[in-house]
Structures are given as structure tokens and as C-alpha cells.
């Protein structure tokens, strides 16, 4: 969200760099980015603490793989808001750019962000279930839809059809 706010307010070179990074990430599937980030964070963390930080790793990997939609929406809304009269008046009385961005523009662009957050919640749940199904999500001792489905696959091909149904 901050990247989109900066890109939309500053424009120019900063906008071009942030949006090109966002476009590169949009070219990659979300689950692949989440797997990559999860793998890097798991390689950094010591194996003894992996069960304790597994949820934090999961949150970071899902969050870092889904920031692009928020940045693009905030950028578009910020580009509209920066030309409004209240922003020009704030500049005129000497308020700094950071204060204008976070105190004046950000509250006015929160509407689209809430809509995108609501829509992306289901995608985040599915990403968590996929990562847990693949074994890189939450530990098997914690409840998760992906862990439940992973445990159910043993019964799927066991010949006990009634358990699957």
C-alpha cells in the first residue's frame, strides 16, 4: 500500500520503478511466489524454531505475494487525489509530502483498498490451504484446510470409497 502511495504521489522515475517491479511480480503465479518466499524464509530460520515461526512465514509469504493489487489500486486513487484542492491547499500552507500522503490522501483512498482486501481474503485462504497441502504451510499439529485435505488423500485411493463420500 505504501509503495502505491509513493508511486502515485511522486510519479516520474519512482512510479516507473515501482510499477515495473509490480508488473514483473504479476507475471508470476501467486502460489509460486509464495512458495519461493516461504522457502527463503524457512532456509533463514533455524530448524528448531520452524514450528514456532511457521505461521509468521505463512503470513509474510502470502502478504508479499499479494501486495501488487493493493499497490496498483492505491496508485490509481492517489493519482486522482493528488490533484484535488485540499492537497493543493495543504502544499500551499507548507505541509510536507509525507504528512500529505499519510494524513490527507491515504484516508481518502481506503475505500477501494477495503474492497480489494475483502475480495483477496478468499484467495489468501486458498493460498494457505495450498501451501499447507504441499507441506510448507502450518505444522501438521495445527488445524488447516490444506492439512485436512492432505490427510484425506490417503483415504482417496485406499479403496475405502465410503470415507471419501
The whole-number pLDDT of residue 164 equals: 67
* pTM attached to this predicted model: 0.80
Q: Look up the domain containing 134 and give its range.
A: 2-164
> Which contiguous run of DSSP H or E holds residue 158?
none
Question: Hey, CA dihedral for 57, 60, 62, 64, is it positive or negative?
Answer: negative
Q: How far is 135 from 47, CA to CA, in rounded Å?
A: 15
Q: How far is 30 from 35, CA to CA, in rounded Å?
A: 9
Q: How far is 163 from 55, CA to CA, in rounded Å?
A: 30
- Our count of domains for the chain comes to 1
DSSP string, 40-86: HHHHHS-GGGHHHHHHHHHHHHHHHHSHHHHHHHHHHHHHHHTTSHH
pLDDT tens-digit map of 75-125: 999 999 999 999 999 999 999 999 999 999 999 999 989 999 999 999 999
Q: If you average pLDDT over residues 11-21, what whole number do you get? A: 93
- CB proximity list for 149: less than 8 A, separation 6 or greater: 129, 133
Q: If you average pLDDT over residues 5-12, what whole number do you get? A: 91
Amino acid at each position: 500500500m505504501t509503495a502505491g502511495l509513493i508511486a502515485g504521489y511522486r510519479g516520474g522515475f519512482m512510479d516507473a520503478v515501482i510499477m515495473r517491479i509490480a508488473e514483473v511480480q504479476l507475471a508470476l503465479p501467486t502460489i509460486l511466489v509464495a512458495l519461493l518466499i516461504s522457502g527463503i524464509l524457512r532456509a533463514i530460520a533455524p530448524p528448531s524454531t520452524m514450528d514456532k515461526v511457521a505461521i509468521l512465514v505463512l503470513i509474510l509469504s502470502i502478504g508479499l505475494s499479494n501486495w501488487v493489487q493493493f499497490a496498483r489500486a492505491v496508485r490509481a486513487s492517489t493519482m486522482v487525489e493528488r490533484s484535488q484542492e485540499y492537497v493543493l491547499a495543504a502544499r500551499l500552507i507548507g505541509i510536507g509530502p509525507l504528512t500529505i500522503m499519510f494524513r490527507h490522501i491515504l484516508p481518502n483512498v481506503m475505500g477501494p483498498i477495503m474492497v480489494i482486501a475483502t475480495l483477496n481474503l478468499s484467495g489468501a485462504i486458498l493460498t494457505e490451504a495450498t501451501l499447507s497441502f504441499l507441506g510448507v504451510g502450518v505444522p501438521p499439529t495445527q488445524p488447516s484446510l490444506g492439512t485436512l485435505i492432505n490427510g484425506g488423500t490417503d483415504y482417496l485411493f485406499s479403496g475405502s470409497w465410503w470415507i471419501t463420500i
